[in-house]
Structure 1
Amino acid sequence: MRVVFMGTPDFAVPALSELVASGHDVAAVYTQPPRPRGRGHKLRPSPVGELAADYGLEVRTPETMKAPSEVEALAALEPDVAIVVAYGQILPQAILDLPEHGCLNIHASLLPRWRGAAPIQRAIMAGDKVTGVQIMQMEAGLDTGPILLSETVPIAEDETYQSLHDKLAPIGAGLLPRTLAALERGGIAPTPQSEDGVTYAKKITPEDAKIDWEKPAHEVDCQIRGLSPFPGAYTEFGNIRMKLLMSKLGGTGAGAPGTVTGADEHGLAVTCGDGNEVLITRVQRSGKAAQPAAEFLRGTKIDPGTVLS
């Protein structure tokens, strides 16, 4: 098939690799323009842009796909299908209608649960036990299109955003060749999404990252893991802010919510609103590298009875 690929972050990289490896004709790769990244905040291409350049593919970085000139430029490529993976732009109807087989999206949830921008984080933060990857036929609504292919993935008790991201990305990539082969031979029937169970995975904001120790231990643990390593759930004591990057449920706590009940080689135990503890095992102080909590505590003294805010 003649394919146009649209994607930007690391999550989209395996999908582009799979398309190239499976022999499809990638006519062009659309990705977000270079942004400041890394130390020094120098302009760098997106992860997808870097990979596409390595493959010698044509890379296009329009600020918007809504301009008539961009619709015309895409039409000139005569694509059979467009593959969209976390591209970062809303596509106008003229683009969605252009390829013969439409625009297909790799979405990291089991729709209609977690439509929207942050399905991986929100699934963990909500304490979901399962999630998945689906190939969806795109339409004008937000992740409302029918499903072509799907795979379910369990969410482990110690799952983080990063670990689940790294599981789902190659699974989604692996579904692509099967989907495209079925489309070519007309052997796949889109399945409309259910009208029941719709939830929205809103974009992660700074407010989502601040820990509220009044919440039950289970919710705090899910928040920490769902936002690890980025942006990182955080708490403060004194003038020190620290990101909490890994945790697990502990025993019964003591004191008011936010009270440190233990600070030793096992980690940092903190009482939550339901009287149970969360044990913090990996932290990152502002401006410093992430490290095991036990190592952090050797350089930063936190006495039992300290109340985190």
Structure 2
Amino acid sequence: MPLNIVFMGTPDFSVPVLDAIASAGNRVVAVYSQPPRPAGRGMAEVKSPVQRRAEALGIEVRTPVNFKSDGDREAFAALNADVAVVVAYGLLLPKPVLDAPRLGSFNVHASKLPRWRGAAPIQRAIMAGDTVTAVNIMRMEQGLDTGPVCLGRDVPIPRSMTAGELHDELSKLGAALMVEALAKIEAGEIDCVPQPAEGATYAAKIGKSETRIDFSRPADDVINHIRGLSPYPGAWFEITIGGKAERIRVLTATAAEGTAEAGTLIDDNLTIACGTGAIRVERLQRAGKQPMAAADFLRGTRLAAGLRLAC
């Protein structure tokens, strides 16, 4: 018999999971998402990707600010759900909400737990230079991503992969794994194993202060930093163009040859010296412009060897 499911999610990462659950024949009785937020130059309220997709599927959407009120908790419990599926919802759920579904609440988490618990596991894995990550299906408890793991698949991280590319791969895999997990839950065959006590790390939300590129670091670290923040929020350096300071977001870069003081352009092709080694910028984005190849940027903006960028 199909399960009655409450789906809780907000960003693009969550949408393939919602689609997969609905396509598998489960009954999604309601979707919870973060409330619309002001965005853009006009600061008009924008619905989340999950809310837009749920409305297109004809599913009721609820957007409480939190679950502190008894009314919101009671409304959730009144859905009489068998399972809650939580995918990057954006709120820590209180115990009465986690315990309300008959068979429990389950989360798609984009890391190899217990490594990278928290808000930014994809970015943190790449920024740290990890070569393997995973998607885990976890039975939720009150701790932050501390619940037992029910299903998981390892995913290699190639040296050239960006956070955006890994995001898309993990989202698709998470959707498939959640459908598999729901079938096991329905059959009473789900087996969840406690996470190891050792090896836990915390994937803090990316702060604005972290996005500026520090060329005093080794080249490998700089490349990982760029990959981990590409395409959003974007790692950047600042140069002066036409007498005006401008931020240049670096989307991809590779290791290069050459030595100089950190932050110095080694040649005319955007090869930049780091604390050790050097990087060559391949793709970038100017403020308000579309991404472009570094070679195209340099056709219109000459940056001569010897120019020093702020570290």
TM range, smaller chain: over 0.9
CA distance in 2, matches of 1:206, 1:177: 36
SS of the residue aligned with 2:164? Answer: helix
In 2: Cα distance, 1:40 partner to 1:167 partner: 33
- Equivalents in 2 of 1:186, 1:41: separation in Å? 47
Q: Deviations over 1:15-55 (max 9, x none)?
A: 00011100101010000111223464322211000000000
State the one-letter code of the partner of 1:86: A
Query: Once the two structures are superposed, what CA deviation does each residue of 1:148-172 show, in whole Å capped at 9, x if it has no partner?
Result: 1001100011111110001000100
Within the alignment, does 1:256 sit opposite 2:257 as a pair? no
Q: For residue 185 of structure 1, report the CA deviation from its aligned partner.
A: 1.7
Distance 1:211 1:177 in 2: 40
Shift of 1:279: 1.0
Q: Which amino acid aligns with 2:86?
A: V
In structure 2, C-alpha distance between the alignment counterparts of 1:44 and 1:50, rounded to whole Å: 9
SS state at 1:5 partner: strand
Which amino acid in 1 is paired with 2:259?
Answer: A
Give the aligned residue type for 1:156. P
The separation in 1 between residues aligned to 2:99 and 2:57, in whole angstroms, is 28
Partner of 2:290: 289
2:208 to 198, 206, 209: 206
Given candidates 47, 61, 64, the residue that maps to 2:63 is 61
Say which is worse superposed, 115-124 or 206-215, in terms of deviation: 206-215
Distance 1:143 1:87 in 2: 13
Deviation at 1:248, TM superposition (A): 1.2
Partner Cα separation in structure 1 for residue 68 and residue 176 of structure 2? 30
Partners of 1:174 and 1:66 lie apart in 2 by: 32
Matches within 5 A, 1:9-88: 9-38=11-40, 40-88=42-90
Question: In structure 2, do the counterparts of structure 1 residues 39 and 174 end up closer, same or farther at CA, with 3 Å as the change threshold?
Answer: farther
Mind listing any 5+ residue stretches in structure 2 that lack a counterpart? none
SS at 2:126's partner residue? helix
2:251 corresponds in structure 1 to 245
1:149 matched to which residue of 2?
Answer: 151
Report matched runs for 1:153-302 at 5 Å: 153-238=155-240, 239-251=245-257, 253-264=258-269, 268-274=270-276, 276-302=277-303
The residue identity in structure 2 corresponding to 1:211 is: I
Q: Deviations over 1:114-148 (max 9, x none)?
A: 00000000000000000010000111111000001
Q: Are the equivalent residues in 2 in contact too, given 1:282–1:291 (CA < 8 A)? A: yes
Q: Does 1:107 align with 2:109?
A: yes
Q: Render the CA deviation track for 1:3-25: whole Å, top value 9, x for unaligned.
A: 00000000000000011100101
Q: Give runs of ≥4 in structure 1 deviating > 3 Å.
A: 37-41
Q: Helix, strand or coil for the counterpart of 1:63?
A: coil
Query: Following the alignment from structure 2 to structure 1, what is the Cα–Cα distance between the partners of residues 52 and 190?
Result: 33
Residues 275-295 of structure 1, C-alpha deviations (whole Å, 9 max, x = no match): x11111011122222211111
Residues of 2 paired with 1:125 and 1:107: CA distance? 18
Q: How high is the sequence identity, in percent, across the aligned residues?
A: 50
Amino acid in structure 2 at the alignment position of 1:248: T
CA distance in structure 1 between the partners assigned to 2:157 and 2:140 by the alignment: 26
The whole-number CA distance in structure 2 between the counterparts of 1:196 and 1:89 is 25
> Match of 1:27, SS?
strand
| CA distance in structure 1 between the aligned counterparts of 2:45 and 2:167, rounded to whole angstroms | 25
Report the residue type matching 1:235 in the other structure: F
Distance 2:202 2:163 in 1: 17
Would you say the 8 A contact 1:66–1:91 is kept in 2?
no
Query: Is the 8 Å Cα contact of residues 117 and 203 (structure 1) preserved in structure 2?
Result: yes
| Whole-Å separation in 1 of the counterparts to 2:71 and 2:220 | 51
1:303 aligns with 2:304: yes
Counterpart secondary structure, 2:248: strand
Counterpart of 1:308, as a letter, is L
In the TM superposition, 1:89-128 aligns within 5 A as 89-128=91-130
Q: Return the TM-score normalized by structure 1.
A: 0.96
Residue type matched to 2:252 in 1?
M
Secondary structure of 1:26's aligned partner: strand
Code of the residue aligned with 1:146 in structure 2: it is: P
